Amino acid sequence: MPELPDVVVYIEAIKKRILGQKLETVRIVSPFLLRTVDPPLESAYGKNVTHLRRVGKRIAVGVEGDLWLVLHLMIAGRLHWRARGVKVSKPRGVAAFDFSNGSLLLTEAGSQKRASLHVVAEEDLRALDPGGLEVLEASEESFAKALTSANHTLKRALSDPRLFSGIGNAYSDEILFEARLSPLALTQKLSPDDIERLFAATRATLNRWVNRLREEAGDSFPEKVTAFREGMAAHGRYQQPCPRCGSKIQRIRYAANETNYCPKCQTNGKLLADRALSRLLRDDWPKTPEELESLTGRSAKSP
């Protein structure tokens, strides 16, 4: 699922191409994409793009008349910049947003189409925001307050969109590796030093990957958006050597979720066995990424 660094770079690339351009039409192939009926999608046709904004992991495109098209790519949705009028071909083609200078093509791998498009007025845009803290704009004090507002595992807390904006499975692994903290440490049991280290690691990791992905894309449209990237320290590197100590990266699997960590750097050499943790994970972790993404509102006191 594209997370904060990926979405930031997507928005920068889209902004270069469509800001000030007129949205001519949207051609939707998948009937599951559009999730709203009022205002109608057609009310955005013929209007110039005035704003682009990130709302958590969503991409919000504002057009004249205070209308917003809000796109959530979920796990398998990806964007591509193509020649105007590009054919939207099944099974991967989902929709095309046509502008006078080109088309923004949305594709989605797999048979389950979970990407979503909402058309909302300005005053309703806030309802699509789960309310998580923007860590790159936040103080350490506000970070600590959000982190300890409920007693979750660190992995769950970082990935909860009601607590922190734009962080998911991949970058939470990288953040915890950077901070040398166990993914199953409980937020309300952390020391002040732990919280300070986690705050610094979160900001450093997100900034580093935004800059790296920005450099990789250059002036081109970002096409290689994936959760598994060369240069990641822990995520997707099960059984590969830790770049810091050389120990093998380990993982915890629960339902559709996976956590990667270094036992020597993060858990004092202890392996975190899946079956021994089933009750803890069941109580603290949604079974699917979609379930986690569906969480809304600022309260995070229940899993």
Tell me, letter by letter, the H, E, C secondary structure of 34-86: ECCCCCCHHHHCCEEEEEEEEECCEEEEEECCCEEEEEECCCCEEEEEECCCC
| Per-residue tokens: 210 | 């935004």
Arithmetic mean of pLDDT over the chain: 91
Q: Report the distance separating Cα 19 and Cα 34, nearest Å.
A: 22
Q: Are 143 and 211 in contact (CB under 8 A)?
A: no
Residue 302: predicted pLDDT: 40
Closest CA to 54 of 20, 15, 18, 27: 15
CATH says 4-128 is which class? alpha beta
For the segment 116-140, the average pLDDT, to the nearest whole number, is 96
Q: Report the distance separating Cα 235 and Cα 155, nearest Å.
A: 12
Phi and psi at residue 157, to the nearest 5°: -60, -50
Q: Report the distance separating Cα 123 and Cα 131, nearest Å.
A: 15
For the segment 234-263, the average pLDDT, to the nearest whole number, is 91
Q: How confident is the model at residue 276 (pLDDT cuts 50, 70, 90)?
A: very low
Q: Is the pLDDT of residue 298 over 90?
A: no
Q: Angle 140-147/192-217 helices, nearest 10 degrees?
A: 110
CATH 3.40.50.300 for domain 135-293, yes or no, is no
- Reported as a single tens digit per residue, the pLDDT across 155-203 is 999 999 999 999 999 999 999 999 999 999 999 999 999 999 999 999 9
- Better-predicted residue by pLDDT, 233 or 278: 233
Q: Is the pLDDT of residue 113 over 80?
A: yes
For the segment 239-266, the average pLDDT, to the nearest whole number, is 90
Q: How confident is the model at residue 258 (pLDDT cuts 50, 70, 90)?
A: confident
Q: Report the distance separating Cα 282 and Cα 275, nearest Å.
A: 11
Domain extents in the chain: 4-128, 135-293
Q: How confident is the model at residue 286 (pLDDT cuts 50, 70, 90)?
A: low
Q: Is the pLDDT of residue 232 over 70?
A: yes
Residue 282: predicted pLDDT: 57
- Is cis: bond before 39, omega within 30 of 0? yes
Residue 303: predicted pLDDT: 38
Residue 71: predicted pLDDT: 98
- Better-predicted residue by pLDDT, 290 or 6: 6
